[in-house]
Structure 1
Amino acid sequence: MLSRRRFRKLDGILLLDKGLGASSNKVLQDARFLFLAEKAGHTGSLDPLASGMLPVCFGEATKVSAFLLDSDKRYITTATLGYVSTTGDAEGEKFNPRPIPAFSDADLEAVLTQFRGNISQIPPMYSALKKDGQPLYKLARQGIEVERAARDLTIHSLTVLARTNNTLTLDVVCSKGTYIRTLVEDIGEQLGCGAYVSMLRRESVEPFGAFRMYTLDELRALAEQGLEALDAVLLPLDSALPHLPSITVEEAIIIRLRQGQKVRTDHDDAELLRIYSEFGEFIGLCESLRGVLIPRRLLAYTSTHL
């Protein structure tokens, strides 16, 4: 039984390929049980309708999860034209049918151009954002709609992969806070016929675009070979932080930093630095300010997988 399993302290990042139908929390817990990890968290949920990359952070990796929440994402989505949905996707009730106007590729490109670069977007009611402590989706299920402030975001790229008489398949690279459902709805309105998301897959989360994802079925097959086979697919914690500068420090300095002390440094000012030991061990994050190294988020390693 699950209650009799002996969970272990484990540090690392798993790139989980979430399947359709399950919640992000469900697949997170499934992965946690397979790895027998004491502590786990994901970095940005995917709706049951959506599939794709869901980074799972085990143990001390949860200390770098915020960087993944803030990172750019790439999605492939199919927009079905001619209707809108109460939820913005295929799970909602379809209404307001409208004829799909004839538009050329050039017409479509002119519409998509409006959504590239820095734009503002009003979050959907069916979202986890909260109003007075209440998730918006719970209010929406009660038929309550509240005013939402527009949010600034960036659509780095927006291209058409395929189109049919009533669908568009789009490749979207965007900043944090982007709602693909809202993007599709807004494009549908500009086309004059409405649209909703009928397929959504998250292809990558920066900086993991070049790394392999693993489905739960693949992980279950590895689990039959033992925990070592599972642990081999985990990424080290600092793989989430390649954009940050790094320095190597002596053991005596590491001890002081772990005690919360500030130490002198000749490094330039930096909001965050990756700190490594002389043996290449990732120690954590510090700030460098006016010649002083200030501990900000140091790791307390509890396993051999770093």
Structure 2
Amino acid sequence: MNGIINLIKPKGISSFKCVSYIKKITGIKKVGHTGTLDPEAEGVLPICVGKATKIIDFIMTNNKEYEVRFKLGVVTDTYDLEGSVLKEYDYSNITEQMIMNSINKFVGDIKQVPPMYSALKKNGVRLYELARQGIEIERPARDIKIYSISDINIDIPYVTMKVNCSKGTYIRSLCYDIGEDLGIGATMTDLKRTANGKFNIKDGICMNDLTSENINDYIISMDEALNVFPAIYVDNYFSKLLMNGVKVNNPKITKEKLKEDVFYRVYNESSDFIGIGLYKNGAFKMDKLLL
């Protein structure tokens, strides 16, 4: 069993608990998720099983889509309702147009400071572990991209919206930053991840509906999961070289014209999926061997 499950995580459990559940019903030890969802968040959480754990990094680079609801006028230490309230503000002077103007400022390439209550590490220690000890450290701002914010519904003090963003985006921080921009604070109240690259919520399987009897029906093959990368076919001679770790600079490796710094799905003469290779500096080499 080597593949990906488009799992829909329910509210109230951790991403780690989802991984543990898949291990239990499959009996397979090599299982991993592709990007943490907070316990009170729900939605798409692709789970990699067996050899597919080798491609977790590729799936984590996917763009994400979320539906989020936040409340103006309140700030918590976690930026969501799980935390302790730090400040409350009067929001009676805030208008819908002011909220729209603020939201629009965050579309595009922006810098974002991750929350203290996050799984990022500092000197090998998770930030949330430090935060629980009352320790707050300076976090450098990171470059992220908000591709779009749509379906905005304002019912002051609540705002709901759909966010399409790059990897590494913290929606909690986005809500917090909008509140800061308005000068009245904001806290996320609900979050649903509706898409992770090609994995979307309408095609997923709820964790509570997944069993040892039906799990094979929901395994997505590795090459299907990676079909955002172009495919190339190599003959048996070159496939053996590639599988032995050889860097090949022969332009006849494939009929397709290769592009610099591009990852490719590699297949042999028998159409077996070998793995992911990278063409760089005029040579081709396997990056992840999956056969």
TM-score under structure 2 normalisation? 0.91
Q: Distance in 2 between the 1:239 and 1:148 partners?
A: 37
Q: List per-residue Cα deviations over 1:34-93 (Å, max 9, x = no partner).
A: 233231111111111111110101111112111111111011111012211111111001
CA RMSD of aligned residues (A): 1.9
8 Å contact from structure 2 (residues 231, 265) kept in 1? yes
Does 1:256 find its partner at 2:241? yes
Q: Distance in 2 between the 1:234 and 1:86 partners?
A: 39
Paired residue for 1:66? 57
Q: Provide the secondary structure at the position in 2 that maps to 1:285.
A: strand
Does 1:55 find its partner at 2:41? no
Q: List per-residue Cα deviations over 1:87-142 (Å, max 9, x = no partner).
A: 11110011311111344433222111110001111111111122222211111111
Q: How many residues of Structure 1 are paired with residues of Structure 2 in the alignment?
A: 285
Does 1:109 find its partner at 2:73? no
CA spacing shift, 1:293–1:37, aligned 2, 3 Å: same
Q: List per-residue Cα deviations over 1:139-169 (Å, max 9, x = no partner).
A: 1111111111111110011124423232111
Offset, 1:210:
7.5
Structure 2: any 5+ residue segments left out of the alignment? Answer: none
Q: Distance in 1 between the 2:201 and 2:269 partners?
A: 28
Does 1:43 find its partner at 2:34? yes
Q: Distance in 1 between the 2:281 and 2:151 partners?
A: 48
Paired residue for 1:283? 274
Q: Distance in 2 between the 1:125 and 1:46 partners?
A: 15
TM-score under structure 1 normalisation? 0.87
Alignment of 1:145-294 (within 5 A): 145-209=136-200, 212-220=203-211, 223=212, 226=213, 229-263=214-248, 264-266=250-252, 267-271=257-261, 272-289=263-280, 292-294=283-285
Q: Distance in 1 between the 2:283 and 2:183 partners?
A: 58
Q: Which amino acid is the alignment partner of residue 235 of structure 2?
A: E
Q: Distance in 1 between the 2:122 and 2:180 partners?
A: 26
CA spacing shift, 1:160–1:245, aligned 2, 3 Å: closer
Q: Provide the secondary structure at the position in 2 that maps to 1:30.
A: helix
Q: Which amino acid is the alignment partner of residue 258 of structure 2?
A: D
Percent identical across equivalent pairs?
Answer: 38
Does 1:296 find its partner at 2:281? no
CA spacing shift, 1:262–1:143, aligned 2, 3 Å: closer
**Alignment counterpart, residue 136 of structure 1, candidates 94, 108, 127:** 127
Q: List per-residue Cα deviations over 1:179-228 (Å, max 9, x = no partner).
A: 111110111122232111111111110022386111122113xx3xx3xx
Q: Which amino acid is the alignment partner of residue 100 of structure 1?
A: Y
Structure 1: any 5+ residue segments left out of the alignment? Answer: 1-9, 301-306
CA spacing shift, 1:282–1:146, aligned 2, 3 Å: same
Q: Distance in 2 between the 1:203 and 1:292 partners?
A: 38
Q: Provide the secondary structure at the position in 1 that maps to 2:169.
A: coil
CA spacing shift, 1:85–1:291, aligned 2, 3 Å: closer
Q: Which amino acid is the alignment partner of residue 159 of structure 2?
A: L
